[in-house]
């Protein structure tokens, strides 16, 4: 199969972790006889510096012409002074909108052996395996008007949370189908005791539920959900929520399972899917070769599954990550104090090595 992919390394640790994702993609292509056609483009701060636009036209065209997009991360303190439409994050939001990817799937799994990396007690976090289905193109990140008015000292800033029924309906269908493929449990998270948007959300999710009588639907307010996520994370399975709540809860889920650095994500539902680790550009460790590349590699597995329907390949990548962690390999973010750690590059190379071994026992790999 032709794997026609645009890679957008971006800023900070983005290029470092993306390189390791590409290393794994290359290995998968070689092992399974696929042809990898990779096109690297600028986004975010890197694009701003090169062409004064966080999403240059040629980057967008390349993304739209490919079958999947692999993104590192965007942003950094150097760009904080830029006006909001010229911030690196504005480029990423525009890319998501242009691609039409309204469904962001964010799994958070506590790998055996990583329980000790969680700030929670091992017995609380053990067995955590959840997916947050986050609406990605609506809500307060996109609603208009958004502005700051007035003179310093009396400024007023406005953001607008807005949802249309169809936006809620389409993400709800994705979440119910995800629940059907897992434990047939879906929790919808909102703030319906305060927000009109959430009351509409709850009403539409209840209507969609009629199409999925085999799925047990529950609702929870976002503040309770945040509390429950740290009190009993292993009870969560599929969580459906709107854009901002999903952004916050998925970072929290990252900390719960040990590190933001191990979580990948898939943004789907549009013309071309976007696959990216959930972490940001981590400017505090950018360029030091210490970032954890597992989030980027997990995103590659999700890409193989969702963009190319290559389930065996996706499972091989996931099994390789699991095996490497089982051997005790640790990047700095998941090493205990006193424990030695691997660089970004070394972790990627270990995972590549494990992938070669896993694939030896996979019947689908051509001999």
Question: Which residues are marked as active site?
Answer: 141, 191, 223, 247, 251
- Smallest gap from Cβ 186 to ligand NAD, in A, equals 25
| CA distance linking residue 25 with residue 157, whole number of Å | 44
Among 70, 74, 355, 359, binds ligand NAD (CB under 6 A): 74
CB 295 within 8 A of CB 272: no
Asked if 281 interacts with ligand NAD (CB under 6 A), we say yes
Q: Which is nearer to ligand NAD, 17 or 108 (CB)?
A: 17
Asked if 283 interacts with ligand NAD (CB under 6 A), we say yes
Q: Which is nearer to ligand NAD, 74 or 186 (CB)?
A: 74
Span 163-222, contacts to ligand NAD by CB under 6 A: none
| CA distance linking residue 14 with residue 76, whole number of Å | 11
Asked if 253 interacts with ligand NAD (CB under 6 A), we say no
Among 284, 336, 337, 340, binds ligand NAD (CB under 6 A): 284
Asked if 89 interacts with ligand NAD (CB under 6 A), we say yes
Q: Which is nearer to ligand NAD, 188 or 292 (CB)?
A: 292
Asked if 21 interacts with ligand NAD (CB under 6 A), we say no
Asked if 279 interacts with ligand NAD (CB under 6 A), we say yes
Q: Which is nearer to ligand NAD, 100 or 283 (CB)?
A: 283
Among 91, 107, 295, 348, binds ligand NAD (CB under 6 A): 295
- Smallest gap from Cβ 348 to ligand NAD, in A, equals 12
- Smallest gap from Cβ 294 to ligand NAD, in A, equals 8
Asked if 301 interacts with ligand NAD (CB under 6 A), we say no
Token digits of residue 123: 């017995």
Q: Which is nearer to ligand NAD, 53 or 89 (CB)?
A: 89
- Smallest gap from Cβ 273 to ligand NAD, in A, equals 15
Q: Enumerate the β-bridge partners of residue 160.
A: 143
Among 15, 54, 75, 273, binds ligand NAD (CB under 6 A): 75
| CA distance linking residue 178 with residue 183, whole number of Å | 9
Asked if 114 interacts with ligand NAD (CB under 6 A), we say no
Among 3, 285, 316, 320, binds ligand NAD (CB under 6 A): 285
Q: Which is nearer to ligand NAD, 59 or 188 (CB)?
A: 59
Q: Return the HEC string of the chain.
A: CEEEEEEEEECCCHHHHHHHHHHHHHHHHHHHCCEEEEEECCCHHHHHHHHCCCCCHHHHHHHHCCCEEEEEECCCHHHCCCCHHHCHHHHHHHHHHHHCCCEEEEEEECCCCCHHHCCCCHHHHCCCEEEEEEECCCHHHCEEEEEEECCCCCCEEEEECCCCHHHHHHHHHHHHHHHHHCCCEEEEEECCCCCHHHHHHHHHHHHHHCCCCCCEEEEEEHHHHHHHHHHCHHHCCEEEECHHHHHHHHHHHHHHCCCHHHCEEEEECCCCEEEEECCCCCCCCCCCCCCCCHHHHHHHHHHHHHCCCCHHHHHHHHHHHHHHHHCCCCEHHHCCCCCCCECHHHHHHHHHHHHHHHHHCCCCCCC
Token digits of residue 184: 């047939």
Span 317-346, contacts to ligand NAD by CB under 6 A: 333
Asked if 260 interacts with ligand NAD (CB under 6 A), we say yes
Asked if 282 interacts with ligand NAD (CB under 6 A), we say yes
Contacts of 356 (CB under 8 A, 6+ apart): 27, 31
Q: Which is nearer to ligand NAD, 144 or 284 (CB)?
A: 284
Among 31, 62, 63, 73, binds ligand NAD (CB under 6 A): 73
Q: Which residues bind ligand NAD (CB under 6 A)?
A: 13, 17, 73-76, 89, 92, 260-261, 276, 279-285, 291-292, 295, 333
């Amino acid at each position: 199969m032709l794997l026609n992919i645009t890679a957008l390394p971006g800023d900070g640790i983005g290029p470092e972790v993306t390189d390791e994702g590409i290393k794994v993609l290359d290995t998968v292509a070689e092992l399974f006889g696929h042809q990898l056609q990779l096109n690297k483009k600028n986004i975010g701060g890197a694009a701003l510096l090169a062409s004064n636009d966080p999403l240059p036209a040629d980057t967008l065209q390349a993304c739209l012409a490919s079958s999947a997009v692999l993104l590192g991360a965007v942003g950094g303190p150097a760009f904080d002074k830029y006006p909001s439409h010229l911030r690196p994050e504005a480029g990423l939001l525009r890319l998501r909108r242009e691609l039409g990817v309204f469904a962001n799937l964010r799994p958070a799994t506590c790998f055996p052996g990583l329980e000790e990396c969680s700030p929670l007690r091992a017995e609380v976090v053990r067995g955590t395996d959840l997916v947050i289905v986050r609406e990605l193109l609506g809500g307060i990140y996109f609603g208009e008007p958004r502005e700051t008015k007035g003179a310093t000292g009396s400024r007023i800033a406005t953001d607008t949370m807005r949802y249309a029924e169809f936006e809620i309906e389409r993400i709800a269908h994705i979440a119910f189908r995800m629940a059907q493929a897992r434990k047939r449990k879906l929790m919808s998270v909102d703030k319906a005791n305060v927000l009109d948007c959430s009351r509409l959300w709850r009403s539409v999710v209840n209507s969609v539920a009629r199409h999925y009588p085999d799925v047990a639907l529950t609702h929870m307010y976002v503040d309770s959900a945040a509390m429950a996520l740290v009190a009993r994370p292993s009870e969560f399975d599929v969580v459906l929520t709107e854009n901002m709540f999903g952004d916050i809860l998925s970072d929290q889920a990252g900390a719960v399972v040990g590190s933001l650095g191990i979580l990948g994500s898939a943004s789907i539902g549009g013309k071309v899917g976007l696959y990216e680790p959930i972490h940001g550009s981590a400017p505090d460790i950018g360029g030091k070769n210490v970032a954890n590349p597992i989030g980027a590699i997990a995103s590659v597995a999700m890409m193989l599954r969702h963009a190319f329907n290559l389930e065996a390949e996706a499972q091989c990548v996931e099994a390789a990550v699991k095996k490497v962690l089982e051997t005790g390999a640790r990047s700095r973010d998941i090493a205990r104090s006193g424990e030695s750690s691997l660089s970004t590059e070394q972790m990627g190379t270990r995972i590549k090595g494990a992938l070669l071994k896993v694939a030896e026992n996979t019947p689908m790999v051509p001999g």
